Amino acid sequence: MLLVLLNVVAVVVESEHQLYEAYQLYFDGFEIFSVAVFTLEYGLRLWVCVESSDKALQHSLRGRWRYVYSPMALIDLLAILPFYLSFFFGVSDWRVLRSLRLLRLLKLTRYSRSLALLLTVIRQEADTLISALLILCTLIMLAATGMYWLEGHVQPEAFGSIPRALWWSTVSVATVGYGDVTPITQAGKLFSGIIIILGIAIAALPAAILASGIINELKRRRESFRLEMVRAMENGFLDFGGLRYLEKVRIHIGISRAEARLVFEEVKQENRLQTQTRCPHCAHSLMIKHPPGHVHVHSVKLRD
Amino acid sequence: MLLVLLNVVAVVVESEHQLYEAYQLYFDGFEIFSVAVFTLEYGLRLWVCVESSDKALQHSLRGRWRYVYSPMALIDLLAILPFYLSFFFGVSDWRVLRSLRLLRLLKLTRYSRSLALLLTVIRQEADTLISALLILCTLIMLAATGMYWLEGHVQPEAFGSIPRALWWSTVSVATVGYGDVTPITQAGKLFSGIIIILGIAIAALPAAILASGIINELKRRRESFRLEMVRAMENGFLDFGGLRYLEKVRIHIGISRAEARLVFEEVKQENRLQTQTRCPHCAHSLMIKHPPGHVHVHSVKLRD
Amino acid sequence: MLLVLLNVVAVVVESEHQLYEAYQLYFDGFEIFSVAVFTLEYGLRLWVCVESSDKALQHSLRGRWRYVYSPMALIDLLAILPFYLSFFFGVSDWRVLRSLRLLRLLKLTRYSRSLALLLTVIRQEADTLISALLILCTLIMLAATGMYWLEGHVQPEAFGSIPRALWWSTVSVATVGYGDVTPITQAGKLFSGIIIILGIAIAALPAAILASGIINELKRRRESFRLEMVRAMENGFLDFGGLRYLEKVRIHIGISRAEARLVFEEVKQENRLQTQTRCPHCAHSLMIKHPPGHVHVHSVKLRD
Amino acid sequence: MLLVLLNVVAVVVESEHQLYEAYQLYFDGFEIFSVAVFTLEYGLRLWVCVESSDKALQHSLRGRWRYVYSPMALIDLLAILPFYLSFFFGVSDWRVLRSLRLLRLLKLTRYSRSLALLLTVIRQEADTLISALLILCTLIMLAATGMYWLEGHVQPEAFGSIPRALWWSTVSVATVGYGDVTPITQAGKLFSGIIIILGIAIAALPAAILASGIINELKRRRESFRLEMVRAMENGFLDFGGLRYLEKVRIHIGISRAEARLVFEEVKQENRLQTQTRCPHCAHSLMIKHPPGHVHVHSVKLRD
């Protein structure tokens, strides 16, 4: 939705005071216009939600109430609420509320599959990510303590206490390195050299976790899709209804068309290997091991 | 192609004015020479393209026209067009056009398999990468807004408005950290410390996406090759024609010889397990479960 | 445990001298309180450990002694020892010992599964990580040597000897880049440009190693769980006892519920393909290829 | 080898002139001692190499000659050659040759499996890594060209020509960010902001390539080991000789004991599923589908 991006631009530009004062009318007009559109959208979604295919929402009143609490609806509400709050309760703390409109960016999630994938992965790996950041924080803490011992008396301004040294150690371990604070003694340089090298290894953890998370999530989806496909092809072939069902599943699970085709090829080949093992006499599949009686029907023929 | 690299060197060196003025003759001569070579190459390719194995290009006129619009041909054209434009329409905006010759670097794609692999992966994951950059931009935006609230009045030069604060937040979240703008208040340092640590996690997304993309792409290629190989070895052995076909497929799909050999070993072993299960009497493969009649042919022998 | 985090906060805050002097009483009180709690916890664990399901610890005395040497117990001991040491031997070197309380952070390992996963991976990959850091150190060393040759006489302060140049090269290769020391000659800039670009590739090694490590560890766990599940479902179905056993295994191995469900689906489908191949006459599974005699039992019936 | 590390320390320390002049005798003595040890090692290896299990080296003279050209032997030679060269041809360019002793670090490769793994992966992925660095260089070039257009006239010192702007763009795209050169115009900041964000994505390529490389290499090794194991267990069980052979293969391929055990478990379970399908009457494995004649031997018994 273009409107969301325009809103973000408006928030950013209007924080430049001269510009805001010069074109206040336009900014305020645009704000009222976009809030009107978003309110309309919110209302319509709330109206339509009972028609959804999701059973839980089909009750006319309770369904709507449940919808209001769904994450998507909350984001939509958050995008318009600040305006109404500041409108009804006066314009106090106007600046803070205006900036909250940045949250409208989150509305974009609805329109992008890959963004949804990334957010899913981040949510799934949140636990592991927090652990990685905890390890990182331990390293930062140790670095700050070390520098406080080593350079606390040389540069009291920068390393005079652990909280002050934390600024330097955070900036260093994160490989940002502003350079406003740097060690000056030999011991300090040696120590921070070691910390920096360790920092590379530890700061690599989030990348590793996210890579593992994305790979596993994609694999899980492919596997689910494969299970669905095997189920759909159980009777040996795939009719039109099955194909349409699989296409719906594919979109729901969210894997690419190329991926799906490869899974299809694999399942087909596996099936072919099995359907090759049909009894060349009675054409019954040998997978369902033809009932032993058949053996003799044929053997009788041969024996005669 | 060495010439492409020499061209890039020429563009870079000639932007140093003294050098350009001193050796203008050589630079211009080299430019004319390389444009001549590239034009010749373009012409030859256009001439030869109808001989290609690709059906879509075999018609003498429409085929050529279609070739002109292929991405490779467009890059080739872009590499020589600036010169002719500036030649026919005068040398206005000479500097810009000269620099466009840097695009000739893209011609190297034709000569490297691994470069092609990387570009394929980047193109495939473009969607996900853009989503990651969008998440990154949201963090940058939030960081800028936060610093604008916290230090807007202390350092109006650097954080006086969101657009100005964006410079600092971009540089910080990307872990570049020039150090020309740094927070000075306690609150600002605390806030930017949190942002920096979050930044490590978010800035790791592209690495994760690309790693997942490369791994999946290589896996997909190996899988396609495996499918081809299983198909080629269906009748239980691999003749010379099949081997040559597989070699062509291997190069087309673009997997290494070592990889291919491993796939071959696996398929062979699978096949061996199956071919072991041949009837030791009649040599019919048991995979095609020997027709029941055979049982009695042998059993008769034994019974006698 | 909240108390651990509060302790870390206390260590950090109290290194700010003014604050410490102002509220010394509270800090000391909090220290005594938390040491008391941790001592109590340590004592209780030591008391209870003989009840553990682990055989090696069940002997009343030797078991306790063995527990004292387990890594978890050592960390617990380390968290309280500094206080008692400084209490009994006087407050000499007080500051160092106080900071050692930061090690209490390590106690958090007990409470988080994902933290344990990360530490497992780091321990497993320690060898490879050290190798990567060795390669990194070689690059840093070469960079320092190169700059010592190139700029040693221009900036004797920064590059006058290899140890001094090491500071710059460490900061640069790690992409921290404080900017307190930068090359100024053309040759130095060219050389460090090459080193920086190489540095990106080499500094990426830890991320790659850790990503590979996490992915492999998770795969290994999933595979172990799958083996357990196949074993539990050997007789074709999964009773309540088997389910409870699998749940215990799942928690012990440490894979998520969603992961476990997918493995279950896969194993079930494999099994279903096999259980389909039951003899439709005598209901004996054909996997255990019905004993040939059966054939005739049926065939007799048919022949009649 | 400790001696190698000591040598590196010596090179580093001795570049500090005062120290070198003070303890010249010790440094020179240590150098002569370590060259003596390395020469002895080289001689012994050259003597013993014909006893190697590798056929290609078993000829007494040609084998030795071939060994001299192997990469390992070349590194060993490179570690001692500088000393002899400077000894026989005088001490001109002494400093450069001394620093070459840093290459002795490469000798450590012989002693570490994981270092060898990393170097294997880097060599295998060299092609792809170079492609990634080429893409990176294109981005750096474009960034330099852009800044040359945008700020060439504002900061002629830093961005006056493309070669000069290259320094800034290299430092920025690599996320080092010294801060000695920064854009000052609005347009320059906007442009470099975009370049920095693109840089994050592109600079992530090497990490992605190496991660993919390590994962694939480990997978390939596991697969090779699995193939060996399946081959060794073909007759249904694993005798002591087979176990010893597998252990040798495991060490040669270079996978961990835990990994090997898991592969063993999997192969065993697969085998068990197959060995379950033994004929319960004659105990012949049904994998080698018992010759049909057997059927009747039993059936006769039953029929009686």
Give residue-wise pLDDT tens across range A151-180: 888 888 888 877 888 889 999 988 888 888
pLDDT of residue A294: 33
Rounded CA separation B56/B68 (Å): 13
Contact C177 B177 (CB under 8 A): yes
Residue type, C294: H
- DSSP string of A119-159, one letter each residue: HHHHHHTHHHHHHHHHHHHHHHHHHHHHHHHHHTTTSHHHH
Give the number of other Cβ atoms within 10 Å of residue C71's Cβ: 9
pLDDT of residue B290: 33
Q: Across the interface, which of A16, A210, A286 has its CB nearest the CB of B204? A: A210
- On whether any CB of chain A is under 8 Å from the CB of C177, the answer is yes
Size of interface B-C (CB pairs under 8 A): 13
- Is the pLDDT reported for residue B177 higher than 50? yes
Instruction: Give, in order, the Cα–Cα distances in Å from D296 to each of A127, B76, B304, C140, C293.
Output: 64, 76, 12, 78, 8
Q: Which residue of D has its CA nearest to C194?
A: D170
- On whether any CB of chain A is under 8 Å from the CB of D292, the answer is no
Q: Which residue of C has its CA nearest to D213?
A: C208
pLDDT of residue A15: 62
Please, is A43 exposed, middle or buried when counting C-beta atoms within 10 Å of its C-beta (0-12, 13-18, 19+)?
Answer: exposed
Tokens (6 digits) for D265: 């478990």
Q: Which residue of A has its CA nearest to C280?
A: A291
pLDDT of residue A181: 85
The number of angstroms, rounded, from the C-alpha of A262 to the middle of its chain's C-alpha atoms is 25
Please, is C293 exposed, middle or buried when counting C-beta atoms within 10 Å of its C-beta (0-12, 13-18, 19+)?
Answer: middle
- On whether any CB of chain C is under 8 Å from the CB of A138, the answer is yes
Q: Which residue, among A24, D128, D85, D171, has the nearest Cα to B217 in the 3D structure?
A: D128
- On whether any CB of chain D is under 8 Å from the CB of B285, the answer is no
Q: Across the interface, which of B200, B208, B291 has its CB nearest the CB of A211? A: B208
Contact C96 A149 (CB under 8 A): yes
C-facing residues of D in 232-261 (CB < 8 A) are 258-259
Q: Which residue of B has its CA nearest to D208?
A: B211
Of B233 and B54, the one with more pLDDT: B233
List chain C residues with CB under 8 Å of B207.
204, 207
Contact B292 A269 (CB under 8 A): no
Q: Across the interface, which of D148, D177, D204 has its CB nearest the CB of B178? A: D177
Question: pLDDT-derived band of residue C286, with 50, 70 and 90 as boundaries?
Answer: very low
Percent above pLDDT 90 for chain A:
3
List chain B residues with CB under 8 Å of A94.
none
Q: Which residue, among A208, A276, A270, has the nearest Cα to A233 in the 3D structure?
A: A270
List chain A residues with CB under 8 Å of C206.
200-201, 204
- Is the pLDDT reported for residue B288 higher than 60? no
Q: Which residues pair with A278 in a beta bridge?
A: A285
Closest approach of A60 to chain B, Cα-based (Å): 36
Contact D131 B137 (CB under 8 A): no
Contact B201 A203 (CB under 8 A): no
Rounded CA separation A276/D279 (Å): 25
Contact B201 A112 (CB under 8 A): no
Residue entry with tokens 């190459």: B41
Q: Across the interface, which of D115, D177, D281 has its CB nearest the CB of C292? A: D281
- For helices C2-14 and A162-173, angle between their N-to-C axes, nearest 10 degrees: 110
pLDDT of residue B193: 92
Please tell me chain A's helix, strand, coil percentages from 3-state DSSP, rounded to the nearest 5.
Answer: 80, 0, 20
Under 8 Å CB-to-CB from A14, ≥6 apart: which residues? A20, A27, A98
DSSP letter (8 states) at residue D132? H
Closest approach of A178 to chain D, Cα-based (Å): 8
Residue-wise pLDDT for C102-153, tens only, equals 666 666 665 567 777 888 888 888 888 888 888 888 888 888 888 888 888 8
- Neighbours of B, requiring at least 3 CB pairs below 8 Å, are A, C, D
Q: Across the interface, which of A130, A162, A175 has its CB nearest the CB of C176? A: A175
Of B214 and C241, the one with more pLDDT: B214
Of A100 and D76, the one with more pLDDT: D76
- Neighbours of A, requiring at least 3 CB pairs below 8 Å, are B, C, D
Of B9 and B253, the one with more pLDDT: B253
Q: At A278, is the secondary structure helix, strand, or coil?
A: strand
Contact B12 D212 (CB under 8 A): no
Contact D16 C163 (CB under 8 A): yes
Contact C179 B179 (CB under 8 A): yes
Please, is D134 exposed, middle or buried when counting C-beta atoms within 10 Å of its C-beta (0-12, 13-18, 19+)?
Answer: middle
Q: Which residue of C has its CA nearest to B207?
A: C207
Q: Where are the alpha helices (DSSP H) in A233-256?
A: 240-253
- Best to test chain A binding among B166, B197, B234 (most A CBs inside 10 Å): B197
Contact D215 C211 (CB under 8 A): yes
Contact C177 B175 (CB under 8 A): no
Q: Which residues pair with D285 in a beta bridge?
A: D278
pLDDT of residue C296: 30
- Is the pLDDT reported for residue A126 higher than 50? yes
Residue type, B62: R
Q: Which residues pair with C278 in a beta bridge?
A: C285
Percent above pLDDT 90 for chain C:
3
Q: Which residues pair with A285 in a beta bridge?
A: A278
**Cα A72–Cα A73–Cα A77 angle in degrees, nearest 5:** 120
Rounded CA separation D64/D51 (Å): 10
- Best to test chain B binding among D131, D229, D285 (most B CBs inside 10 Å): D131
- Is the pLDDT reported for residue A17 higher than 50? yes
Rounded CA separation A21/A11 (Å): 14
- On whether any CB of chain A is under 8 Å from the CB of C277, the answer is yes
Contact C277 A297 (CB under 8 A): no
Q: Which residue of B has its CA nearest to D299?
A: B299
Contact B175 C179 (CB under 8 A): no
- On whether any CB of chain C is under 8 Å from the CB of B175, the answer is yes
Contact D170 C196 (CB under 8 A): yes
- Is the pLDDT reported for residue B176 higher than 80? yes
Contact A296 C290 (CB under 8 A): no
- On whether any CB of chain A is under 8 Å from the CB of C55, the answer is no
Question: pLDDT-derived band of residue C200, with 50, 70 and 90 as boundaries?
Answer: confident
pLDDT of residue D145: 82
List chain B residues with CB under 8 Å of D219.
none
Instruction: Give, in order, the Cα–Cα distances in Å from D48 to each of C11, D64, D65, D296.
Output: 60, 9, 13, 64
List chain C residues with CB under 8 Å of D96.
149
Tokens (6 digits) for C175: 């992409």
* In contact, D119 and D109? CB cutoff 8 Å: yes
Contact D215 C212 (CB under 8 A): yes
Contact A291 C303 (CB under 8 A): no
Which has the minimum average pLDDT: B48-62, B64-78, B158-172, C21-35? B48-62
Q: Which residue of D has its CA nearest to C149?
A: D96
Tokens (6 digits) for C94: 């007080």
Size of interface A-C (CB pairs under 8 A): 154
Contact A178 D175 (CB under 8 A): no
Global pTM reads 0.77
Rounded CA separation B268/D145 (Å): 54
Of C191 and B117, the one with more pLDDT: C191
Question: pLDDT-derived band of residue A280, with 50, 70 and 90 as boundaries?
Answer: very low
Give the number of other Cβ atoms within 10 Å of residue C94's Cβ: 11
- On whether any CB of chain D is under 8 Å from the CB of B210, the answer is yes
- On whether any CB of chain A is under 8 Å from the CB of C216, the answer is no
Q: Which ranges of chain D have pLDDT less than 70? A: 1-21, 50-60, 70-72, 75, 79, 82, 86-87, 89-112, 234-238, 269-304
Q: Which residue, among B10, B5, B1, has the nearest Cα to B31 in the 3D structure?
A: B10
Of B102 and D153, the one with more pLDDT: D153
Contact D179 B175 (CB under 8 A): no
Under 8 Å CB-to-CB from A211, ≥6 apart: which residues? B207, B208, B211, B212, C211, C215, D208, D211
